[in-house]
Structure 1
Amino acid sequence: MRNPSILSAPPSASPVTPSTSPLQAKGRVSARPGRPLFDACQIGVVLRAVLFVEVVVAVATMFLAPTLSEWLLLAATVTGGALPATLVWLLATCGLKRLLARLPVPVQYGAGALLGALSALYGCGLLRLTGVVGEAPWLASALAGVLFAGLMMAALVLRARGQTPAATTARLEELQSRIRPHFLFNTLNSAIALVRQEPAKAEAMLEDLSELFRQALADPGESVTLADEIALAERYLAIEQVRFGDRLRIRWDIDPAADDARLPPLLLQPLVENAVKHGVEPSPDGARLRIRTERRGAMVLIEVVNSLPPLRWADAPLPRGHGIALANVRDRLRLLHDMQAQFNAGMDQKSYRVRIAIPAES
């Protein structure tokens, strides 16, 4: 066997090179070379930062303006400097994200605070050059920029730390409910049945099962590549293909340009397992399963579609799932990609379709 250790996890994971196909990437989990302490390159972060600044400006100017008209004028004036400064800070920290990722944590905080001060001075300079203010409060503006940067960095760090318990909980849920004991029992029975007649198939099945457990027990971090997830799904479906035979009809439409997109680990496997559980298992005729990936500009689309079994042989309606796996996938996508991630699941004529859209990474 290529990997005789069923439950062993390697001490480290090697990244998958762009030329590596999903099948060649078996057993590998890509690791990012470096991650910044805070990440301002998401639409949700930009919208929240702008809203936060506008609220602060609106509340602060209320103390200085006795009437509504004066308050509106003063708020508009301050916004003319605060909003450009905010956008400059967001653009600067986003553009320098890779550089900041290589720096020690205290230096990243210091760089973020310095960028905040410079951005605030830029906004103050705009007001001075346009003649909106006569005497420019340079020192107050710089300190306000440092304060804003500190608050933003603290919020982004707390949000990033919030991903850790969710990822840990999700991995434990996968171990307890996705790699189920009855699934292991059925797989081993199928392998035993193949040992004498087709030993090569039995060996391949056990290797795929070993890899599934190894990946589930490994700690790949907060994200992996789509290519890694596709490779893991191929192993899982290879096991189910032996189990169901012609009842499981799989179609792969994989776009290599989408392979580098990042998503939470063990995200695709429960979707594929749901498709097998609700599409193939209840149907004597089996079902069709389609997995499609496609890169469209700056976004990557992922679809898992399975045909649904008719009820002509059932005495009662087929049981429906509780949607726990779908809710888990949705929450983990939001944690990783915030407002840039899209998730839709539901009936599509005689099929059930799960559609995910995430940012593409070059």
Structure 2
Amino acid sequence: MGLRAVLLVQAVLAVAALSSASNGADWLARQGAGAFGGAAGTVLWLVLLCSLRRWLIPRSAPVRGAAVLGLGAGVALLAWWPLWLAGLATDGDGLRVPGIALVGAGLAALLWAWLELRARIWQPATASARLAELQSRIRPHFLFNALNTAVALVRVDPARAEAVLEDLAELFRVALAEAGTSVSLAEEVALSRRYLAIEQVRFGDRLRVSWAIDARVEAARLPPLVLQPLVENAVRHGIEPAVGGGRIRIEAVAQRGQAVLSVHNTVGDEASAPGNGMALRNVRERLRLLHDVGGECDTWRDDKGFHARITVPL
């Protein structure tokens, strides 16, 4: 997104320089002087806008618009100042302080309109993402195993069978929630605890789980059911095929203004073959739809096992 914004501003500045240049050499000189200020100003404007996003979102449209235009004007003046000191920007260019501020506000308005349009265009994508979402959230093999577990417990331990069915019902309630909604990290953790409670009945002592959740990140927003598929992958590929079972550790910490949610699982010699990655692709897609470049999902394997990490803004 940042690169496209910089290119958009550079294109506008190039056209503006072309309209006022007397010849090709004059246009190159004007564009060369404006390229640095335009790129630096655009990046600074985007950084400031992202930093103020939490403050801007609940504000009214006029307040957001005034803030966007004010930031654009201020950033343009700040970006042009080094060029003026270096003698690359002169009064002869007609770019006095009011003119520079006006250009900055205009470019900010153009960028803001583009970002708003981009957000609207992406909304229909949630409909198609919804189909993949439902396919990968609660897999048929898990449903089959959970129901078999409940049936086996009905006669010997009715209370436990009821608990399994209640946990399963909660998983389906979230899976069928309205598309495009978000949940807190605390809710995601609670749901994954329910999922692991079902699997604990199946695997018993073979499944060993530990948690380390920092209370500071519990309010972070996530698409529903992004943690559970990662935990399910850990069970399916790390615990289920291993004769002696294994360990799963789920952590959530705050790092540099971001919430980092990690799932670590051991992988034995009997580990199953890797799947097609549909669940991971689905998680990445929904994180991108909610947080754009601010949401990430990384996976890797080392001698300690398999690791998955979700990063979202706080």
TM surpasses 0.5: yes
1:322 and 2:305 aligned: no
Residue type of the partner of 1:132?
Answer: T
1:353 and 2:307 aligned: yes
Residue type of the partner of 1:322?
Answer: N
Q: 2:5 aligns with which of 49, 55, 60?
A: 49
Question: How far 1:72 moved relative to its partner?
Answer: 4.7
CA deviation vs aligned residue, 1:128-185 (integer Å, no higher than 9, x gap): 8987214557887676456423432232123323443444444433433432344223
Matches within 5 A, 1:160-171: 160-171=119-130
CA-based RMSD of the aligned residues comes to 3.6
Whole-angstrom distance in 1 between the partners of 2:65 and 2:227: 39
Q: For residue 58 of structure 2, what is the aligned residue in structure 1? A: 101
Identify unmatched segments of 5+ residues in structure 1.
Answer: 1-43, 312-316
Task: From the superposition, tell whether residues 168 and 245 of structure 1 become closer, same or farther in structure 2 (CA, over 3 Å).
Answer: farther
1:149 and 2:149 aligned: no
User: Given that residues 6 and 38 in structure 2 are in contact (C-alpha distance below 8 angstroms), is that contact kept between their aligned partners in structure 1?
Assistant: no
Question: How far 1:49 moved relative to its partner?
Answer: 2.9
CA deviation vs aligned residue, 1:271-325 (integer Å, no higher than 9, x gap): 11111111222233222212111112322222212222314xxxxx943211111
Q: For residue 224 of structure 2, what is the aligned residue in structure 1? A: 265
Whole-angstrom distance in 2 between the partners of 1:302 and 1:99: 26
CA deviation vs aligned residue, 1:219-263 (integer Å, no higher than 9, x gap): 274432211111111111111111221221112122222222222
User: Given that residues 300 and 357 in structure 1 are in contact (C-alpha distance below 8 angstroms), is that contact kept between their aligned partners in structure 2?
Assistant: yes
The structure with more helix, counted as a fraction of residues:
2
Q: For residue 75 of structure 1, what is the aligned residue in structure 2? A: 31
Whole-angstrom distance in 1 between the partners of 2:183 and 2:292: 16
* Shift >4 Å, 4+ stretches: 79-90, 116-131, 134-147
Whole-angstrom distance in 2 between the partners of 1:211 and 1:321: 26
Identify unmatched segments of 5+ residues in structure 2.
Answer: none
Q: For residue 176 of structure 1, what is the aligned residue in structure 2? A: 135
Whole-angstrom distance in 2 between the partners of 1:179 and 1:87: 41
CA deviation vs aligned residue, 1:27-52 (integer Å, no higher than 9, x gap): xxxxxxxxxxxxxxxxx54x543343
User: Given that residues 171 and 216 in structure 1 are in contact (C-alpha distance below 8 angstroms), is that contact kept between their aligned partners in structure 2?
Assistant: no
User: Given that residues 249 and 289 in structure 1 are in contact (C-alpha distance below 8 angstroms), is that contact kept between their aligned partners in structure 2?
Assistant: yes
Whole-angstrom distance in 2 between the partners of 1:179 and 1:197: 27
User: Given that residues 171 and 266 in structure 1 are in contact (C-alpha distance below 8 angstroms), is that contact kept between their aligned partners in structure 2?
Assistant: no
**How many equivalent residue pairs?**
308
> If the length of structure 1 is used for normalisation, what is the TM-score?
0.70
Q: For residue 213 of structure 2, what is the aligned residue in structure 1? A: 254
Whole-angstrom distance in 1 between the partners of 2:80 and 2:236: 62
> If the length of structure 2 is used for normalisation, what is the TM-score?
0.79
CA deviation vs aligned residue, 1:320-358 (integer Å, no higher than 9, x gap): 211111122223333333334443212212511112333
Whole-angstrom distance in 2 between the partners of 1:65 and 1:217: 63
Whole-angstrom distance in 1 between the partners of 2:225 and 2:111: 30
User: Given that residues 69 and 106 in structure 2 are in contact (C-alpha distance below 8 angstroms), is that contact kept between their aligned partners in structure 1?
Assistant: no
- Which region of structure 1 is more displaced relative to structure 2, 94-103 or 287-296? 94-103
Q: For residue 336 of structure 1, what is the aligned residue in structure 2? A: 290
Residue type of the partner of 2:275?
Answer: G
Whole-angstrom distance in 1 between the partners of 2:22 and 2:290: 42
Q: For residue 163 of structure 2, what is the aligned residue in structure 1? A: 204
Secondary structure of 1:214's aligned partner: helix
- Which region of structure 1 is more displaced relative to structure 2, 138-147 or 331-340? 138-147
User: Given that residues 49 and 152 in structure 1 are in contact (C-alpha distance below 8 angstroms), is that contact kept between their aligned partners in structure 2?
Assistant: yes
Whole-angstrom distance in 2 between the partners of 1:296 and 1:117: 29
CA deviation vs aligned residue, 1:103-133 (integer Å, no higher than 9, x gap): 25xx467546754785588579968898721
User: Given that residues 127 and 179 in structure 2 are in contact (C-alpha distance below 8 angstroms), is that contact kept between their aligned partners in structure 1?
Assistant: no
Q: For residue 297 of structure 1, what is the aligned residue in structure 2? A: 256
User: Given that residues 65 and 74 in structure 1 are in contact (C-alpha distance below 8 angstroms), is that contact kept between their aligned partners in structure 2?
Assistant: no
Residue type of the partner of 2:302?
Answer: D
Residue type of the partner of 1:325?
Answer: A
Q: For residue 278 of structure 1, what is the aligned residue in structure 2? A: 237
Residue type of the partner of 2:231?
Answer: V
